[in-house]
Chain A
Amino acid sequence: MRRFYLIFSILTICFCYSAKSQERCASLLSEDYVSDGQYYSTLINNYETKQCEVTFIEGNEYRVIVCPHKAKKVQMQVVDRDGNVIFDNKNFGYTNYWNFKIKQTLNCTIRLNLVGDNVENDELIVLIGFKK
Chain B
Amino acid sequence: MEKVVRIFLVSFVAVMVTACGGNTSKQSDEAAKEDSLMLESRSRNLVGMINGTIYCLPSPYEMMKHIQELNLEYNQDYPNPVGKFSSYESSFKRLLNMGVYGIDISYLSLYDQTTEALNYFGALKSLANRIELSTVFDAQTMERLENNMGNKDSLLVILTSKFQESDRLLKGENQKAEASLIMAGCWIESLYLLTQIQKNAPDKITTQKIAEHKFAAEVILNILRPYYEKSPEFKDLIDEIVDICYEFDGIDFDYTYKEPTTYPDKHLTVINSESSLHVYPEHIALISGKIEELRKNVVQ
Would A53 and B273 count as touching, CB distance under 8 A? no
Known A-B contacts A50-B52, A120-B32; the reply to A37 vs B20 at CB < 8 A is no
- In the bound complex, CA of A82 to CA of B168 (Å): 32
**Cβ–Cβ < 8 Å partners of B9 in chain A:** 4-5, 8
The contact of A1 among B2, B58, B161, B165, by CB within 8 Å, is B2
In the complex, what's the smallest C-beta–C-beta distance from B189 to chain A, in angstroms?
13
Give A contacts to B, CB under 8 Å.
Answer: 1, 4-5, 7-8, 11-12, 14-15, 18, 34-43, 48, 50-58, 60, 69-70, 78, 80-82, 84, 86-87, 92, 95, 97-107, 118-121, 123, 126, 128, 130, 132
- In the bound complex, CA of A81 to CA of B156 (Å): 32
In the complex, what's the smallest C-beta–C-beta distance from B195 to chain A, in angstroms?
17
Which residues of B, 170-225, contact A by the 8 Å Cβ criterion? 171, 183, 186, 212, 215-216, 219
* Chain B, Cβ-Cβ closest to A40: B54
Known A-B contacts A37-B160, A55-B216; the reply to A119 vs B21 at CB < 8 A is yes
Top 8 A-B residue pairs of the complex, sorted by shortest distance between their CB atoms: A11-B16, A37-B163, A36-B59, A39-B168, A55-B215, A37-B160, A70-B21, A14-B20
**Cβ–Cβ < 8 Å partners of A97 in chain B:** 267
Which residues of B, 133-168, contact A by the 8 Å Cβ criterion? 153, 156-157, 159-161, 163-165, 167-168
Known A-B contacts A7-B13, A11-B20, A106-B273; the reply to A98 vs B164 at CB < 8 A is no
* Chain B, Cβ-Cβ closest to A61: B268
- Write 26 A-B pairs (CB below 8 A) sorted by A numbering: A1-B2, A7-B13, A8-B9, A34-B156, A36-B57, A37-B59, A38-B183, A41-B46, A41-B171, A43-B40, A50-B54, A51-B52, A51-B54, A55-B58, A78-B269, A84-B257, A86-B260, A95-B267, A98-B267, A98-B268, A100-B270, A101-B270, A103-B271, A107-B215, A130-B62, A132-B153
Would B61 and A53 count as touching, CB distance under 8 A? no
Fill in one digit per residue for B1-24: 1 if any A CB lies within 8 Å of its CB, else 0.
Answer: 010001001101100110111001
In the complex, what's the smallest C-beta–C-beta distance from B186 to chain A, in angstroms?
8
Q: How large is the interface on B (under 10, 10 to 19, 20 to 34, 35 or more residues)?
A: 35 or more
**Cβ–Cβ < 8 Å partners of A60 in chain B:** 62
- Tell me whether B55 is interfacial, beta carbon within 8 Å: yes
Would B270 and A104 count as touching, CB distance under 8 A? no
- Tell me whether B60 is interfacial, beta carbon within 8 Å: yes
Which residues of B, 269-292, contact A by the 8 Å Cβ criterion? 269-277
Would A104 and B273 count as touching, CB distance under 8 A? yes
In the complex, what's the smallest C-beta–C-beta distance from A130 to chain B, in angstroms?
5
**Cβ–Cβ < 8 Å partners of A36 in chain B:** 56-59, 61, 160
* Chain A, Cβ-Cβ closest to B260: A86
Would A98 and B269 count as touching, CB distance under 8 A? yes
Would B56 and A53 count as touching, CB distance under 8 A? yes
* Chain A, Cβ-Cβ closest to B32: A120
Fill in one digit per residue for B244-266: 1 if any A CB lies within 8 Å of its CB, else 0.
Answer: 00000000000101001010101
Would B275 and A106 count as touching, CB distance under 8 A? yes
**Cβ–Cβ < 8 Å partners of A41 in chain B:** 46, 171
The contact of B257 among A55, A82, A130, A132, by CB within 8 Å, is A82
The contact of A101 among B16, B102, B269, B275, by CB within 8 Å, is B269
Would A92 and B264 count as touching, CB distance under 8 A? yes
- In the bound complex, CA of A81 to CA of B257 (Å): 9
* Chain B, Cβ-Cβ closest to A118: B24
In the complex, what's the smallest C-beta–C-beta distance from B74 to chain A, in angstroms?
22
- In the bound complex, CA of A50 to CA of B24 (Å): 22
Known A-B contacts A37-B60, A55-B58; the reply to A80 vs B164 at CB < 8 A is no
**Cβ–Cβ < 8 Å partners of B262 in chain A:** 87
- Tell me whether B119 is interfacial, beta carbon within 8 Å: no
- Tell me whether B35 is interfacial, beta carbon within 8 Å: yes
* Chain A, Cβ-Cβ closest to B42: A43
**Cβ–Cβ < 8 Å partners of B21 in chain A:** 18, 69-70, 119
* Chain A, Cβ-Cβ closest to B257: A84
In the complex, what's the smallest C-beta–C-beta distance from A99 to chain B, in angstroms?
4
